[in-house]
Amino acid sequence: MDKIVVLDFGSQYSHLICRRIREFSVYAELVPFDISYEELQKHNPKGIIFSGGPSSVYSSEAPMPENKIFEMNLPLLGICYGHQLIVNKYGGKVKRANKEYGSSLLTIDNDKDLLNGVGESVRAWMSHGDEAEQIPPGFQVIGHTESAKAAAIASEEKSVYGIQFHPEVVHTEQGTEILKNFVLKVCNAKQEWTMEGFIESSVEKISKIEGNVLCGVSGGIDSTVAALLIHKAIGDRLKCVFVNNGLLRLNEEKEIEEMFRDNFKVNFSPVDASQEFLGKLKGISDPEEKRKIVGEEFVRVFTNFAEKSGPFKWLAQGTLYPDVIESGVSKGPAAVIKSHHNVGGLPEWLNLEILEPLRELYKDEVRQIAKILNVPEKLFMRHPFPGPGLSVRIIGEVTPSKLEICKIASKIVEDELLEANLYSKVWQAYAAVGDDRAVGVVGDERKYGNIVMIRVVDSIDAMTADWTRLPHGLLEKISNRITNEIEDVTWVTYTISSKPPATIEPQ
Ligand code: XMP
């Protein structure tokens, strides 16, 4: 399959370049900037892209690709820092400039190839402190902005291009067109990357493995899709285990069992360990201690299962591409590739090899596969849910009554957002409960009941989050339902702290 390789110089947008290219069905891979010439050759790329990055090319610590890479004579596109690298490498000059951040009007001076079909001018997203003062011999300016005279440059003869702006972010108009021009027209890459093709080839690969596979499923999209792909390849040699830790959302364990066992006919073993988990959490109110207990208990239950139901040769995990590849700049080259194991801490004597069928994929690609494999939409539309479950949404000790309140109140929040068509527009939405109580009046009686906190947040990647400005009428309805339907609750509050300084989960 034709492939574009993106060298990562540490831009926060590096992964986005690959995603945008894959969206038009060409396979793109992110590699560390210091990949060796020999390694890069093994990729057999149709073209190379240098990402942006925080460094300056004239700094002594500037990350540089291996020189021989330029001798491959492949089409090359530099973005932002990558643009400056190209200017520098081919004999131009880069200078410190006024910082330009945000949207600028890019005027097209030559629309022959890279900027073909994008119009006379477009808004382009800038984020840089350096600029090309003098372009290299043999290059010409193909686009400029008011402050950057050489915002886009080209050497048609060499098929080398540099652009100061970021075509991969949505704020750049026609950004995808520009990437398409490079990938499809300059590199002549074929559009061969489809999720149907991925399913077919990975099923073929997985069907060749020997021995039994153990897969811990959580009901989340990643472990579900990983399990279904493996099941398609090896049928009942895959055994899925689902650990009910007693900290799941209302009726979640039943829904998951129904889906795997009844719908998908997968070899599925639910383990109800809720009493063990809740027993270990009894009397514990420290947030970190609670997380540790849930993690350790999970490993214990999982290991017991593996021991009793084995032997297994493989442990399957739903690790995704962004977990596998980290920035090539912020980590030293040796630490660049990390194997991110969701089920951490399993004892070595289990002697399991790791099978990660989704390690080349982005989340939106996993969602596409889920659709193709008929995973119910409800599952892949569901908000992220933390591994330690409701133990992080119950402030203080996890008690049966707080657990019950948390489950029912959260279901009300989710249902009302679904009803108002807002569920998919927010990042997460739930109810939390602690030990604080407040006085209410029920009928003619005073009642000292629990306080429930509603938390609904908008976010793009969970790194930062803002509280969602829900309509007052909707908040009122949620509050009324919670106090009417849950006997022990007298007050409902809405959490209006953003992250930072707050976090999304309270514990
Ligand atoms: P915070 O609370 O740190 O959460 O703002 C950020 C995102 O991570 C989720 N989260 C977790 N996910 N294991 C997980 O798998 C955990 O221990 C955990 N803690 C928080 C949280 O739901 C939010 O999406």
Q: Are residues 365 and 257 in the same domain?
A: yes
Q: Which two tokens stand for residue 265?
A: 């006919």
389 CA to centre of ligand 1 in angstroms: 9
User: Ligand 1: which atom is nearest the Cα of residue 385?
Assistant: 22
User: Ligand 1: which atom is nearest the Cα of residue 388?
Assistant: 17
Q: Is residue 501 part of a domain?
A: no
CATH number for position 442? 3.30.300.10
Q: Are residues 137 and 278 in the same domain?
A: no
Q: Is 462 in the pocket of ligand 1 (CB under 6 A)?
A: yes
Q: Is residue 385 part of a domain?
A: no
Q: Is residue 502 part of a domain?
A: no
Q: Are residues 362 and 240 in the same domain?
A: yes
Q: Are residues 292 and 431 in the same domain?
A: no
Q: Is residue 266 part of a domain?
A: yes
Q: What share of the chain is helix, strand, coil (3-state, %, to 5)?
A: 35, 25, 40
Q: Is residue 300 part of a domain?
A: yes
Three-class secondary structure of residue 74 per DSSP = coil
Contacts of residue 130, Cβ cutoff 8 Å, sequence gap at least 6:
56, 57, 58, 84, 94, 95, 96, 97
d(CA 325, CA 65): 18
Q: Are residues 220 and 115 in the same domain?
A: no
Q: Are residues 334 and 415 in the same domain?
A: no
Query: Dihedral sign, CA of 454, 456, 461, 463?
Result: negative
Q: Is residue 499 part of a domain?
A: no
pLDDT value at residue 341 = 38
Q: Is residue 308 part of a domain?
A: yes
Ligand 1, atom 3, lies closest to the CA of 503
Contacts of residue 497, Cβ cutoff 8 Å, sequence gap at least 6:
467
Q: Is 117 in the pocket of ligand 1 (CB under 6 A)?
A: no
Greatest alpha-carbon pair distance for the chain in Å reads: 88
Residue labelled with tokens 């996993």: 366
Residue 136 has pLDDT above 80, yes or no: yes
Radius of gyration of the chain (CA): 26
Q: What is the mean pLDDT of the chain?
A: 93
| Count of the separate structural domains present in the chain | 3
CATH number for position 179? 3.40.50.880
**pLDDT tens digit string along 9-63?**
999 899 999 999 999 999 999 999 999 999 999 999 999 999 999 999 999 999 9
d(CA 441, CA 170): 52
Q: Are residues 149 and 280 in the same domain?
A: no
d(CA 426, CA 458): 5
* Structural domain harbouring 69: 3-186
Ligand 1, atom 4, lies closest to the CA of 504
Catalytic residues: 80, 166, 168
506 CA to centre of ligand 1 in angstroms: 10
Q: Is residue 335 part of a domain?
A: yes
Q: Are residues 16 and 106 in the same domain?
A: yes
Q: Which amino acid is at 4?
A: I
Q: Is 383 in the pocket of ligand 1 (CB under 6 A)?
A: no
Ligand 1, atom 18, lies closest to the CA of 386
The Cβ of residue 487 has, within 10 Å, a number of other Cβ atoms equal to 13
Q: Is 295 in the pocket of ligand 1 (CB under 6 A)?
A: no
HSE at residue 225, side-chain half, CA atoms within 13 A, is: 31
d(CA 114, CA 122): 14
Confidence band of 326 (pLDDT split at 50, 70, 90): low
Domain boundary among 154, 186, 218: 186
Q: Are residues 371 and 474 in the same domain?
A: no
d(CA 184, CA 198): 20
Confidence band of 190 (pLDDT split at 50, 70, 90): very high
Q: Are residues 343 and 416 in the same domain?
A: no
